[in-house]
Structures are given as structure tokens and as C-alpha cells.
Amino acid sequence: MLSLIQKSEEGLMKKVVFLSGKKVNLRPYDKEKDLRNLLRWISDPETRQFISSHAQFPKSLEKEEDEMRKRTTGPENVFLIIETKNHRPIGCMGLHKIDWINRTAESGASIGEKKYQNKGYGTDAKMFFLNYAFNTLNLRKINSAAFSFNKRSLAYNGKCGYKIEGVFKRQFFRNGKYHDAIMIAVFKEDFQNIWKRYQKAD
């Protein structure tokens, strides 16, 4: 009987959908389901080079759990897992440092499963996530940053309406060299027309 209840609960958890996109769903983070995937994604050398400096050190499961607790709690954070329509976790996306007075936030995202990279899953997730940020949370500006060598990130953020606002010269050290940080942002009013076109597109 207990195993049937557990299976039923697992089935319900698979169906949790917070935001429903065209290609992906976004749902709340669940430690039991997601912690090991997140640790695996950020530990991969190809992925790690594109993310924050704290990820450049080896992590234990306990350390990642502690960091996820900080990233998923409090009124200044929104963190969601990106899934395919078949409920396969493939990445994550978040808003951090939400400033409820100035109506701004910082965004971050990653498609950790390599077979799903460069296939539009990240763009779809970001479009629906930004719609939530602007038209549900009533934020007005979302900031982000990308390494100058991360052309993929700059391209897909550009599709979602982000524009370059500045450059921090030789800000980050990766692969034996210092690289510029490209500061990007999207305003609500600029996003709205892009969002309307995206909704109509096949």
C-alpha cells in the first residue's frame, strides 16, 4: 500500500507545472528530484566555464544543497526547473536580487542537458519566464551578464529582447585568460512586442 501511495505522489509531482511554454514547462525546484542533476550540470567542465566563479571549485552534494537553499528562498529569489513536455529536467532558470522598490532583478539560466542545447528550449523558457516576471510580478527591468566568449548566451538573450548596456573589461578569468563581461538588460516595454510576436509564431 505504501509503495502505491509513493508512486501516486511521484506521479503527481511529475505533473507540477508553474509555467507552460511551447516546448518546455517550468516548475518549482524539488530537492529530492533536482539536487543531483544540478550538481552534475554545474560540475561539467563545458558548462562550468559559462557560469559564476563560485562554480569553479569542486562541490559536495551538501554544499550545493546549502547554496540551493539560499537561491530558492526569500522574497528576492524565484528559481524554477526547466522540463521538456515529457517532464524530463533539462536545466534551470531564476530571478535573483529582486528589488521590489525599483522593480528590477537579475536573471540567470542554464540548459544543463547537452542534447537539448541549441534547440530552442532555452529561448522558449526565457520568453515565458520574462512574461511572468513582467506581467505577473510587475517588474520593469531584468539585468544579466554574459562572458564575451559565450556567443550562444548573447544570441538567445538578444532574441528575448536583451540589449547590451555596457562592458566590464577583463572581468572574469576562464581558460587561462581574462574575458570581458557583457552587461545586458531588457525592459518591460521592449519585451511586450517581442512577446506578442513570439506567441503568434509557430
Residue-wise pLDDT for 69-108, tens only, equals: 999 999 999 999 999 999 999 999 999 999 999 999 999 9
Residue 122 lies in a domain: yes
In this model, does residue 2 exceed pLDDT 50? no
Task: Identify whether the C-beta of residue 161 lies closer than 8 Å to the C-beta of residue 186.
Answer: yes
Residue 161: closest CA among 110, 202, 107? 107
3 state SS of 182 = strand
In a domain, 2, yes or no: no
The tens digit of pLDDT for each residue in 138-191 reads 999 999 999 999 999 999 999 999 999 999 999 999 889 999 999 999 999 999
Q: Would you call 18 helix, strand, or coil by DSSP?
A: coil
* Residue 178 located in a structural domain: yes
What's the residue count for the chain? 202
90's grid cell: 533539462
Please check whether residue 120 lies inside any domain of the structure: yes
Is 6 within the bounds of a domain? no
* CA–CA distance, 39 with 60 (Å, rounded to integer): 8
What whole-number distance in Å separates Cα of residue 121 and Cα of residue 177?
30
Domain of 78, in residue numbers: 14-200
Q: Say how many domains are in the chain.
A: 1
Can you give the pTM of this predicted structure?
Answer: 0.89
The pLDDT, as a whole number, for residue 190 is 97
CATH code (residue 139): 3.40.630.30
CB atoms within 10 A of CB 75: 7
Q: What angle do CA 40, 45, 47 make, to 5 degrees?
A: 70
Does the residue 154 lie in any domain? Answer: yes
With respect to residue 1, please indicate whether it lies within any of the assigned structural domains.
no
d(CA 2, CA 145): 47
In a domain, 85, yes or no: yes
Q: In this structure, how many other beta carbons lie within 10 angstroms of the beta carbon of residue 85?
A: 12
**Least confident window among 35-49, 111-125, 181-195:** 35-49
